[in-house]
Amino acid sequence: MKRVTRTLLCLAAVTIIASCQTNKEQAKASIEAIMNQQAADWSNGNIEGYMNGYWKSDSLRFMGRKGITYGWTSTLEKYKNSYPTKEAMGELKFNYISFESIGNSMLVIGKWTIVYPNDTIGGYYSLIWKQINGEWKIVLDHTS
């Protein structure tokens, strides 16, 4: 009886671990798809489309070199002021370094690059994504 119980516990543990890995891979694929769409929207001069990846809430936080911006609307306005035209926005590219599960959230770390005709700028980001109403959304963005 002990052997059967031990075997069932081992099978349950393996099933749980496999399920967690599958959920992480599904989350990673969903988030990558959203970020790829964000990069396309940005590169097409569509800041509002780019912002669809963010949590539309006053609790959204964006941390950059000038400090913390609170809220979706304030973050949108910050982007519009910093990048007023499609030409100013350039072509955005993301390089994904890691995806790490943190409870029901996902931490995504990577590098961003904006390519202009005569220049390229870039830096790093760490994003905390959370599933809200069945959709993955950025709830905290720290970009340098």
Predicted local distance difference test score (pLDDT) of residue 1: 58
Give the integer Cα–Cα distance in Å for 114 and 33. Answer: 19
Q: What is the CATH number for 7?
A: 3.10.450.50
Q: Is 60 exceeded by the pLDDT of residue 12?
A: no
Predicted local distance difference test score (pLDDT) of residue 4: 53
The token pair at 82 is: 């910093």
pLDDT one-digit tens code per residue, 45-84? 999 999 999 999 999 999 999 999 999 999 999 999 999 9
Give the integer Cα–Cα distance in Å for 27 and 96. Answer: 14
Give the integer Cα–Cα distance in Å for 38 and 5. Answer: 49
Query: Following DSSP, what letter does each residue of 44-74 receive, concatenated?
Result: TT-HHHHGGGB--STT-EEEETTEEEESHHH
> Per residue in 75-114, is it b (16+ CB within 10 Å) or e — as a string?
bbeebeeebeeeeebbebbbeeeebeeeeebbebeeebeb
Q: Is 60 exceeded by the pLDDT of residue 9?
A: no
pLDDT one-digit tens code per residue, 95-143? 999 999 999 999 999 999 999 999 999 999 999 999 999 999 999 999 9
Backbone phi, psi, residue 111, to 5° = -120, 140
pLDDT above 70 covers a percentage of the chain that reads: 85
Q: Is 50 exceeded by the pLDDT of residue 19?
A: no
Domain that holds residue 102: 2-143
Give the integer Cα–Cα distance in Å for 101 and 28. Answer: 9
The token pair at 138 is: 């950025």
Tally of domains within the chain: 1
